[in-house]
């Protein structure tokens, strides 16, 4: 949709400049391995991977895929885990949370103005397909529990989380889309997927109505959906959402049927 692309492009530079307290935009990220994924046709995608400390191949671990917002796009393999994308990638790897729920975190990176979502197609976008293939490759490389694969994203990544989860609900145990939205007509495929969506009521980049529509469609179908809307928050809902006290335990309690 043209308005989505325009709004995201206009706001991405502003959003990237915002710091949310966990790290500076260009600070080193020693906890996240620098990697590049190449699929069989030869398409490349930079990504960062957090591997649990004391990783044991005899243990089956959950994994979180984080889809960055517009400010994370590029080819530097750093912006998608820093600046405005810090909370979404780092909240899961704090010592406290790793002690309770040791998990992997993978953060792929879009190039330029590309999108995670393709709302007018039944197929995944090119980069969403790469992200799915990356997940499959990591499951071959590491001991990852296929029943505990989680998807989250914000802004451009929030739109992507709704889209990818709707087209491939078989892959995920739960999804946490922030300041995103989707096509309510696709809600039926999401009916059985636990979702906790977040939005700011004052969001002028991607209006909160986009999340409200999805949540209403899911509730009408009896879907398992939670929705938190902050009345005094604009687009940068990730500053609060990823720090919600109940989010960690809620997410890791979800298992794919």
121 domain residue, yes or no: yes
State the Cα–Cα distance between residues 254 and 21, nearest whole angstrom: 28
State the Cα–Cα distance between residues 54 and 205, nearest whole angstrom: 41
Q: What is the pLDDT of residue 29?
A: 65
DSSP 114-162: --S--TTSSSPPHHHHHHHHHHHHHHHHS-EEEEEEEEEEETHHHHHHH
125 domain residue, yes or no: yes
Per the listing, tokens 């949709």 go with 1
State the Cα–Cα distance between residues 209 and 196, nearest whole angstrom: 16
71 domain residue, yes or no: yes
Q: What is the pLDDT of residue 81?
A: 98
Domain count of the fold of the chain: 1
State the Cα–Cα distance between residues 84 and 15, nearest whole angstrom: 6
**At a CB cut-off of 8 Å and minimum separation 6, what does 20 contact?**
84, 86, 87, 236, 238, 239
Intervals of the chain under pLDDT 70:
1-29
Q: What is the pLDDT of residue 13?
A: 37
176 domain residue, yes or no: yes
216 close to 197: Cβ distance less than 8 angstroms: no
101 domain residue, yes or no: yes
68 domain residue, yes or no: yes
The predicted-structure confidence for 7-52, as pLDDT tens digits, reads as follows: 444 344 333 333 333 433 344 567 999 999 999 999 999 999 999 9
69 domain residue, yes or no: yes
CATH number for 179? 3.40.50.1820
Structure tokens at 175: 């999804």
Q: How is the chain split among helix, strand and coil, in percent rounded to 5?
A: 40, 20, 40
Structure tokens at 252: 């890791």
Bridging pattern class, strands 144-154 and 32-38: unpaired
State the Cα–Cα distance between residues 132 and 116, nearest whole angstrom: 11
The range of the structural domain enclosing residue 139 comes to 2-252
Q: What is the pLDDT of residue 90?
A: 97
257 domain residue, yes or no: no
């Amino acid at each position: 949709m043209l308005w989505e692309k325009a709004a995201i492009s206009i706001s991405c530079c502003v959003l990237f400049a915002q710091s949310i307290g966990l790290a500076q935009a260009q600070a080193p990220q020693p906890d996240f391995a620098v990697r590049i994924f190449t699929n069989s046709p030869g398409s490349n995608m930079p990504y960062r991977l957090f591997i649990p400390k004391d990783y044991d191949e005899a243990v089956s671990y959950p994994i979180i895929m984080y889809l960055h917002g517009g400010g994370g796009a590029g080819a530097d393999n750093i912006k998608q885990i820093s600046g405005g994308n810090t909370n979404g990638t780092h909240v899961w790897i704090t010592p406290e949370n790793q002690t309770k729920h040791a998990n992997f975190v993978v953060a792929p990176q879009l190039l330029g103005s590309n999108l995670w979502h393709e709302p007018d197609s039944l197929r995944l976008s090119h980069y969403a397909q790469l992200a799915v293939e990356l997940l499959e490759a990591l499951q071959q490389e590491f001991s990852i529990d296929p029943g505990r694969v989680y998807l989250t994203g914000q802004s451009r990544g929030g739109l992507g989380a709704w889209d990818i989860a709707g087209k491939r609900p078989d892959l995920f145990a739960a999804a946490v889309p922030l300041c995103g939205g989707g096509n309510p007509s696709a809600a039926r495929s999401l009916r059985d997927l636990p979702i906790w969506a977040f939005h700011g009521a004052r969001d002028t980049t991607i209006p909160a109505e986009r999340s409200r529509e999805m949540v209403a469609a899911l509730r009408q179908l009896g879907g398992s959906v939670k929705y938190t809307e902050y009345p005094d928050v604009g687009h940068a809902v990730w500053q609060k959402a990823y720090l919600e006290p109940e989010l960690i335990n809620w997410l890791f309690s979800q298992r794919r049927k």
